[in-house]
Structure 1
Amino acid sequence: MAGAYKTPGVYIVEKNAFPNSVVEVATAVPAFIGYTEIASNKGASLKNKPWRISSMSEFVNFFGGAPNDKFAIDTFPSEDANVKNAPNSDFRIGDDEYQLLNTKSRNYLYYGMKLFFQNGGGACYVVSVGDYQAKIEKAALESAFDELLKEQEPTMIVIPDAMSLSMDDCISLQQASLMHCGGKMKNRFSILDIYDGYKDRRDDGDCIAKFRNALGTSFLDFGSAYYPWANTSIVQLSDLGFSNIADLKKLSECLKAEVNISTLHQDKKDAYNEQIDSIESVLAAAEKLKADKKATAESDSKKTAEDRAKERAALEAMSDEDKKKAKEDADKKTKAEAEISSAPAELHKTLFTISPLYVKILSAIQVKLNLLPPSAAMAGVYTLVDNSRGVWKAPANVSLASVVSPSVNITHDEQEDLNVTTAGKSINAIRSFIGEGTLVWGARTLDGNSLDWRYINVRRTMIMLEESLRLATKAYVFEPNVSGTWVTIKSMASNFLTGIWKRGGLAGASPEDAFSVHVGLGETMTAEDILEGILRVTILVALSRPAEFIEITFQQQMQKS
């Protein structure tokens, strides 16, 4: 300003010609909540702490590996065979049928993370609320929401372990997830699974009807649900072994029964039975060796520098002959330990070769472990579509990786009630198509009757626009509420929305058709608003919606030549 100058001379004044730019916020950063093997970063606990990772190797580094699911072998109830839609037995020996039962509630998070990354997942947050020994509880999973309130980056919530709760607790947790996304944060989207979604709707009650009746009506536009569950290829047969069978004695009995009814020569039967008899003893010896090594390591860690000095002195005082003998004994012990450690793996290979029943049992366990809820895979699909096409592209008509088939085949007619219902709670179908594989065949939020928020991409695009402009406009808080500020904010918003329109995020032949920004006295504000320190900006946007139904009309015409 000229009035501020006191000394004659030339003064340079720089003025900004352009408004601040709006940085588009991330749209595909899911937060996974569940139970893990460990939760540690170099000794520091990560329990109940949102932790950002970007690959499966990072997950294993911080949160450990897969849960060791154990299955009990039980006689298959003969009365189930006469029940309509009853499950099949897992294997048969002669006329006897058997089933495999998981001995505890399943931990889905680890397998869900693998499914997420294999379907295009990237950066995400993990909140570990306990280890695999802890009981899966709603209160523990729900406590993660309080921790996620402190994190601004996550844009999706996924809780695969909710499927191991009771139905009432699961629905309550899903309601809390919708409340967190739409009620508190208002910038997140919840991807839900259907409880018992691996079942056909005609089996043991209608799982879809139960879900719709229990979920309520609050914040439905901030969530979506998918049905059915998926048969995946995440767990390989090579990942399984004796450790996945709870009762080794029962296993031995079944394997012996198979050998005894076979047509093998008696000498071979005797040899195979000897192998089977050794299962428990071999594994017991390996477990004892493992426990002894752990105890020795713990004892060594407690030794003081003085103890170690005494051991070195005692070793130096030994004669050459005693040293040689001690070394030979140590080598023998090491060799024996190596044999004991490798014995279970060798026995597993032998039984895998000689016993078709053993292979059948492990294959049945593999099928059960590969039945997974689809929410984690969908989080990967959202990420993939956002990165390749943009958040405004509906995450549908996309194939699922590492998915063999949906657990239930849905027909065109059966999907009608899933997609369009008077209750409005649309459920997106996962369907198998000949020659195309398993596809996501639905793009609706749970608020399926709303013309505003019917589609997932519309809600998530609006979240992105709102958050991007909110963060950019924070720079003008406490600025003078005058026309100069209004013009700056309008230009900033218009430039950002023009960029989104050019990339296909807004519908319209021109920017004027796609959006409009309004701000100013007499337009969006009154004189009283200005006196109260309120600056109002109104933005109208035309969001692109998916072509969910394509109609092609054919009509005959008269022959012209």
Structure 2
Amino acid sequence: MAGAYKTPGVYILEKDAFPNSVVEVATAVPAFVGYTEFADNKGKSLLNKPWRISSMAEFISYFGGPPPATFKIARKGAAPTVADAVASPAATDDEKAIVDAINAARKAVTGIASQDENPDPFSTNDEDFSLGKDSKFFLSLEGQYYLLYRSMMLFFQNGGGACYVVSVGNYAQEIAEGELSAGVQTLKKEQEPTMVVIPEAVSLSEADCYKLQQAMFNHCGYDMKNRFAILDIYNGFQDNRDNECIDNFRNKMATNFPAFGAVYYPWVNTSIVSLPEVSFRNVHADSLGDFAALLTLEVRETVPSLKKQESIVAEIDKLADIASKSPAENDVLHKTLNAVCPLYSKILAGIQHKLNLLPPSAAMAGIYTMVDNTRGVWKAPANVSLNSVSSPAVNITHEEQEDLNVNTAGKSINAIRTFIGEGTLVWGARTLDGNSLDWRYINVRRTMIMLEESVKLATKAYVFEPNVANTWVTIKSMIGNFLTSVWKRGGLAGASPDDAFSVHVGLGETMTAEDILEGVLRVTVLVALSRPAEFIEITFQQQMQKS
């Protein structure tokens, strides 16, 4: 160096004493794909463009509000309409005529109980929505039901934070597997997302749902190798003993890259939609006549005073022309009917219940985020309570969970269960690769993804550096320091750093002379990842009295 100096004097040289550090990558940044009211950023379209948000307010700003959801009120099978049966006595004072009409109406709608061939998660056969024990009515969703908006609310209420949203269309479009799959492909250009969630997969046909879910696995485990898919069970609102939704999933879902995803069962009853948000606006226009007739029939049957009957029926008749009334007038009508017609309140409660029935994947994405931020990605996202969830749609017993958790096919299903005094808990922590000793647990797979991505990004700085001992030592020290910090926080198992990990690099250790000639620098990192105590066994045994 001295030969480079020409003028006498004092020269200062600075030399780096420490290697580059590894920066831990984010672990809980889900990407949601689905349909929204619009996709706009100040006039610039966000359609099929991954867009980062961090709150529900931002989602509404860029993607709009909730989707329309209207229900038809109908009977099982074909029968004379209730409107025909109760129309004639509405304006008469002849009590016998009224009683006869009520009996005719009851006869027209009772005893009809044909089973639906295709179960609808947003329909109900509950007797709570009938006029009597023998009447059979059900609420049936009309048109598409888009799940992304309310799933995003569930995500943020369960600890969700920064995430990406890919809007593939608006509420005027039909939910299509091709559009959702194309939305997944747009995520290839984004580096930050670590999870993929598509709640609307369950709104497709069964075959298309499985096709889309396998596309999610291909994206996470084959294309990117650094992401995790969170899935829902198709028809997961049903009891598997009756409808075999779990068996169908295991038989029909492909098994490629099962370690890169987990699935949860059953769906959950939430409190996302409050009762004041529901009104007769959620009753489809084609059903308003039957709706009014049902309310009229209840009034005729339960209100003893004919004069009071007529005053209430006069209010019910206003449902026929709600389109011509102002929003304020309709609000007054809603409040009036809610106060004087118990059946009106029951039906609205039924609609609220159905709107609150949601697949759990978005809630689990929020749970992953919360656990990662409070405990670390190495903590299994289980034995954690769900917020804004009143109960699972299906109550699972200890015995029923055995086959969900451990199966000869290896496709483990994580249960969501309710426990007395504890609420609704996530009671499973396995990937779909449930028989693998390497990747059985969600936290093991996700921790390894975090370690790999963090080290990969830090080591890029040494591409084209001399493949010599100085570079090897620097890289080894850099990775070792990073893994030591992870070990100190409980991410690696071992009483000391030497027990928890080891880093190997160098000629004769990980490389041959030929590797160096070919420009290859090989580093081997061994880590002891912490695994959850899924089964705790406590042994009790009697002993002889000693004193």
* Superposition TM-score, scaled by structure 2 size: 0.90
Aligned partner of 1:309 in structure 2 is: none
Aligned partner of 2:68 in structure 1 is: 68
1:430 aligns with 2:420: no
| Distance in 1 between residues matched to 2:482 and 2:47, nearest whole Å | 39
Match of 2:467 among 478, 481, 501: 481
Match of 1:341 among 313, 327, 343: 327
Match of 1:162 among 178, 201, 211: 201
Match of 2:358 among 372, 379, 397: 372
1:222 aligns with 2:260: yes
Aligned partner of 2:288 in structure 1 is: 248
1:14-49 CA distances to partner (integer Å, 9 max, x unpaired)? Answer: 110000011100000000111111111122111111
Match of 1:239 among 277, 297, 309: 277
Question: Which amino acid letter does the alignment assign opposite residue 390 of structure 2?
Answer: V
Q: Per-residue deviation at 1:113?
A: 0.5
| Contact 2:112 2:136 (C-alpha < 8 Å) held by counterparts | no
| Contact 1:19 1:488 (C-alpha < 8 Å) held by counterparts | yes
Q: Per-residue deviation at 1:81?
A: 7.4
| Distance in 1 between residues matched to 2:112 and 2:135, nearest whole Å | 13
| Identity of matched residues, % | 67
Q: Per-residue deviation at 1:257?
A: 1.1
Aligned partner of 2:308 in structure 1 is: 268
Q: Per-residue deviation at 1:280?
A: 2.4
Aligned partner of 1:441 in structure 2 is: 427
| Contact 1:90 1:98 (C-alpha < 8 Å) held by counterparts | no
Q: Per-residue deviation at 1:79?
A: 5.4
| Distance in 1 between residues matched to 2:69 and 2:249, nearest whole Å | 27
Q: Secondary structure at the match of 1:144?
A: helix
Aligned partner of 2:143 in structure 1 is: 104
Aligned partner of 1:532 in structure 2 is: 518
CA RMSD of aligned residues (A): 1.6
1:410-452 CA distances to partner (integer Å, 9 max, x unpaired)? Answer: 1111111001111001000001100101000000000001000
Q: 1:420 to 1:346 in 2, by over 3 A?
A: same
Aligned partner of 1:400 in structure 2 is: 386
Question: Which amino acid letter does the alignment assign opposite residue 257 of structure 2?
Answer: F
| Distance in 2 between residues matched to 1:239 and 1:87, nearest whole Å | 23
Match of 1:151 among 164, 183, 190: 190
Q: Per-residue deviation at 1:105?
A: 2.7
Q: 1:551 to 1:72 in 2, by over 3 A?
A: same
| Contact 2:34 2:198 (C-alpha < 8 Å) held by counterparts | yes
| Contact 2:75 2:112 (C-alpha < 8 Å) held by counterparts | no
Q: Secondary structure at the match of 1:469?
A: helix
1:513 aligns with 2:499: yes
| Distance in 2 between residues matched to 1:148 and 1:475, nearest whole Å | 25
Question: Which amino acid letter does the alignment assign opposite residue 63 of structure 1?
Answer: F
| Distance in 1 between residues matched to 2:370 and 2:279, nearest whole Å | 34
1:391-415 CA distances to partner (integer Å, 9 max, x unpaired)? Answer: 0000000000011111111111111
Write the mapping of 1:29-428 to structure 2, written as runs, cut at 5 A: 29-77=29-77, 78=111, 80=113, 87-89=125-127, 91-94=129-132, 95-204=134-243, 206-246=244-284, 247-281=287-321, 283-286=322-325, 340-428=326-414
1:451 aligns with 2:437: yes
Aligned partner of 1:336 in structure 2 is: none
Q: Per-residue deviation at 1:7?
A: 2.6
Question: Which amino acid letter does the alignment assign opposite residue 219 of structure 2?
Answer: H
Q: Which runs of 5+ in 1 are unaligned?
A: 287-339
Question: Which amino acid letter does the alignment assign opposite residue 425 of structure 1?
Answer: K
| Distance in 2 between residues matched to 1:227 and 1:341, nearest whole Å | 40
| Distance in 2 between residues matched to 1:143 and 1:258, nearest whole Å | 50
Question: Which amino acid letter does the alignment assign opposite residue 262 of structure 1?
Answer: T
Q: Per-residue deviation at 1:215?
A: 1.5
| Distance in 1 between residues matched to 2:126 and 2:140, nearest whole Å | 13
Q: 1:219 to 1:486 in 2, by over 3 A?
A: same
| Distance in 1 between residues matched to 2:544 and 2:112, nearest whole Å | 66
Question: Which amino acid letter does the alignment assign opposite residue 276 of structure 1?
Answer: I
Q: Secondary structure at the match of 1:33?
A: strand
Q: Secondary structure at the match of 2:531?
A: coil
Question: Which amino acid letter does the alignment assign opposite residue 259 of structure 1?
Answer: V
| Contact 1:68 1:243 (C-alpha < 8 Å) held by counterparts | no
Q: Per-residue deviation at 1:96?
A: 3.0
Q: 1:423 to 1:80 in 2, by over 3 A?
A: farther
1:338-386 CA distances to partner (integer Å, 9 max, x unpaired)? Answer: xx33100000000010110110110011111111100000000000000
Q: Per-residue deviation at 1:64?
A: 1.1
| Distance in 2 between residues matched to 1:79 and 1:392, nearest whole Å | 55
Q: Secondary structure at the match of 2:362?
A: helix
1:13 aligns with 2:51: no
1:503 aligns with 2:489: yes
1:216-245 CA distances to partner (integer Å, 9 max, x unpaired)? Answer: 221100000001110111111101112100
| Distance in 2 between residues matched to 1:82 and 1:241, nearest whole Å | 28
1:558 aligns with 2:544: yes
| Distance in 2 between residues matched to 1:386 and 1:140, nearest whole Å | 31
Aligned partner of 1:546 in structure 2 is: 532
Q: Per-residue deviation at 1:82?
A: 8.9
Q: Per-residue deviation at 1:9?
A: 2.4
Aligned partner of 2:94 in structure 1 is: none
Q: Per-residue deviation at 1:76?
A: 3.2
Q: Per-residue deviation at 1:92?
A: 1.2
Q: Per-residue deviation at 1:177?
A: 0.1
